[in-house]
Structure 1
């Protein structure tokens, strides 16, 4: 990308105002809304199975373990195809790759409405995981080509706030669809949920193709001198990164960060996929009520996430904020386990979990961007994200097995709390971000 933009001389660089945030803010307003909306529907299509379970489990005669396996097998496909998908971004460009991802996961979500047994359920969840592979690390690679390190915390937060927004919308949408469209035209409410959300994803493909530029040189709405500023700033980020060699992706610090990401996401996926069931077990029966209550943790996260991202930019050493977020998640999981039958207190605990986990994600990726560039970034973003997201397989499946054996999610929640605490310890003692 950078070779297409003429280099700026040292004199020109010195003349550039140090405060370039207005330029990058304008770029953000052009790019972020597009991938923001796509990410929302990606999370709706990924997580709607948690709400569908309220009706689907009975219709398909699924055990808790079978549901947990189906929810988690998404991440097996996600893991296997994430690095190949990210490598395609360099060949296809972001526009075509993201459009392909959106189209396939939308169609597969629609087909989820017509599964008849466990096997079909597993297959389609796997396919959705394969389809979505590459989007999360691909967006991080894409953003690293537009924004320098000093702004990545707030830029990542602006984009990744789509996660709590999508999850906050997912509950009310699922509750309303499943509560009001049940048995309409001979389809159950959970079937309509998959059909509607998958169809919207497919409908977004033309908009993405028309709106998203592949690279900096394609941004006709930027002046030549503005493109030079961006190219030089991004090149400086590449020079500051630890390595350009993809083999260093497997260095001890990157392996350590991958483990931290796995432990962090375990709490998110463990609670996220079981949140509707946890609310129901606390005594709430109405599907619509469960849907709206499940949005509460994510509404608070929407407020906290951009604030933490901006503060981490100012602090420069983002590891301290990651430690605080991991401890917040740990405390929230313990509270949820202790007061599992108390709806209000349980929701408070889950709010702490959502705030801690989701607020840490943009800060985490800003830290990783300081470690990887060039070919290392292409493989590294995908490596960390794919391994870390295997927590999405292990966590819900593990809780499903524990729930079948014990009749409650309490032991599973304590296990997740221990994982969050371990992540905090690793960050505290072994991870430090070098000052910029």
Structure 2
């Protein structure tokens, strides 16, 4: 099967160059800002429903369970189309797939502004999920064409800090838009929020088409010698990883990693979709204040992710950092549940959750990249991400049901804490990382 990675890899028996970080740093500055922007607005379009809920729930007459279903149904579309989208990236290249993704999810987000009932809400959330399917594993597949394993922790962190940055910006932006534009031209603040953020996503499409190279050989800003170095370094990683198709994807280790990713993301989406409501229920009434406070956990997370990514590269034992992050998330969720009515302590707990969950994601994908390459990477990245992201359906929907029945999110938060603890246990028991790099390699 023709695939993106094999086109960027040449057969070679040499070890990766040890003084190549300046080259990879230059490549990172060319590629990462573009997909960084796409990721930010993708996550804004995915998560802005948590802020829109503060006004939209009343206007559309949604119960907490109905809102949770709508927030989570995104991930059903995401799940169904994840692997087909990654196979499509393998055939058409990153540039066209990412541009298509931006266009469709932007238009669907704009359409969300005009939803009139719960069925339209569900349908558009499903379409946004379909549109975004393949983007997250696609970026990991794309980066695996450009960066060898010894740099993947810091490269993933540099790219994936787009998540906390997007979420940190999302709160204040949502609060500002919803409080200042409410009823402007007869539209509610939540409608303006969807319209503006969707329009910006559509506006980014020409940028992606113009600046993002499809594959290594398309990078005009690299000379032939530099392309050869990159191809040989990536090939060195490929020889250490599994390259078979479904046999690798369905191996016990990959299934274990998929389970761990599901447990990690359950906490992420449980907090992400309900964070504005948790802050409001702690006694913060004004929408703008809710937006500003919701940014606090993610501001700290930006710096934590960069540190965790670099330390995991340096140590070579990434599993240890995944365990620590899972434990941090479990503690933070428990703290939030215990002090759910205390804004300051609750925010501190949610900061621990954000650092633990988002800090683990770049390290997690670096672990996966050491185990899968070639055809296995095309399917395996999508398989792990699609199954893991089903937590985005289960988690907010379950918390919505629990909240309707108990009048509080406390029991749901304890459940998420237990799931984070279980992910730490699975990592300790089944995931081992052997140190294969020298200290000189990681400098």
Which TM-score applies when normalising by structure 2? 0.96
**Aligned-partner Cα distance in 2 for 1:80–1:4:** 27
Counterpart in the other structure of 2:192: 192
1:6 positional shift = 9.6
Counterpart in the other structure of 1:32: 32
After superposition, the Cα gap between the structure-2 partners of 1:401 and 1:22, relative to the gap in structure 1 and judged at 3 Å, is: same
After superposition, the Cα gap between the structure-2 partners of 1:147 and 1:114, relative to the gap in structure 1 and judged at 3 Å, is: same
Do 1:137 and 1:382's aligned partners in 2 also have CA atoms closer than 8 Å?
A: yes
1:242 positional shift = 3.1
The number of aligned residues is 433
Do 1:5 and 1:228's aligned partners in 2 also have CA atoms closer than 8 Å?
A: no
Counterpart in the other structure of 2:341: 341
After superposition, the Cα gap between the structure-2 partners of 1:306 and 1:69, relative to the gap in structure 1 and judged at 3 Å, is: same
- Write the mapping of 1:63-78 to structure 2, written as runs, cut at 5 A: 63-78=63-78
**Aligned-partner Cα distance in 2 for 1:91–1:7:** 19
How far does the alpha carbon of each residue in 1:226-279 deviate from its partner, in whole angstroms, 9 at most, with x for none? Answer: 100000011111101034333220000000000000000000100110000000
How far does the alpha carbon of each residue in 1:184-216 deviate from its partner, in whole angstroms, 9 at most, with x for none? Answer: 000000000000000000000001100000000
After superposition, the Cα gap between the structure-2 partners of 1:355 and 1:168, relative to the gap in structure 1 and judged at 3 Å, is: same
Do 1:304 and 1:359's aligned partners in 2 also have CA atoms closer than 8 Å?
A: yes
- Write the mapping of 1:48-127 to structure 2, written as runs, cut at 5 A: 48-127=48-127
Q: Matched residue of 1:169: which SS?
A: helix
After superposition, the Cα gap between the structure-2 partners of 1:9 and 1:178, relative to the gap in structure 1 and judged at 3 Å, is: closer
- Write the mapping of 1:396-435 to structure 2, written as runs, cut at 5 A: 396-435=396-435
1:434 positional shift = 2.9
Do 2:171 and 2:294's aligned partners in 1 also have CA atoms closer than 8 Å?
A: yes
Q: Matched residue of 1:183: which SS?
A: coil
Counterpart in the other structure of 2:441: none
- Write the mapping of 1:9-408 to structure 2, written as runs, cut at 5 A: 18-408=18-408
How far does the alpha carbon of each residue in 1:133-183 deviate from its partner, in whole angstroms, 9 at most, with x for none? Answer: 000000000000000000000000000000000000000000000000000
Do 1:264 and 1:357's aligned partners in 2 also have CA atoms closer than 8 Å?
A: yes
Which TM-score applies when normalising by structure 1? 0.97
1:19 positional shift = 1.6
After superposition, the Cα gap between the structure-2 partners of 1:208 and 1:339, relative to the gap in structure 1 and judged at 3 Å, is: same
1:435 positional shift = 2.8
How far does the alpha carbon of each residue in 1:99-151 deviate from its partner, in whole angstroms, 9 at most, with x for none? Answer: 00000000000000001111000000000000000000000000000000000
**Aligned-partner Cα distance in 2 for 1:78–1:150:** 30
User: Would you identify which runs of 4 or more consecutive aligned residues in structure 1 move more than 4 Å?
Assistant: 1-10
Do 1:8 and 1:229's aligned partners in 2 also have CA atoms closer than 8 Å?
A: no
Q: Matched residue of 2:48: which SS?
A: helix
**Aligned-partner Cα distance in 2 for 1:258–1:316:** 21
After superposition, the Cα gap between the structure-2 partners of 1:17 and 1:426, relative to the gap in structure 1 and judged at 3 Å, is: closer
Query: How large is the Cα RMSD of the aligned pairs?
Result: 1.4
**Unaligned stretches of 5+ in structure 2?**
437-443
Q: Matched residue of 1:222: which SS?
A: coil
1:5 positional shift = 7.1
1:9 positional shift = 7.3
1:88 positional shift = 0.2
**Unaligned stretches of 5+ in structure 1?**
none
Do 1:2 and 1:231's aligned partners in 2 also have CA atoms closer than 8 Å?
A: no
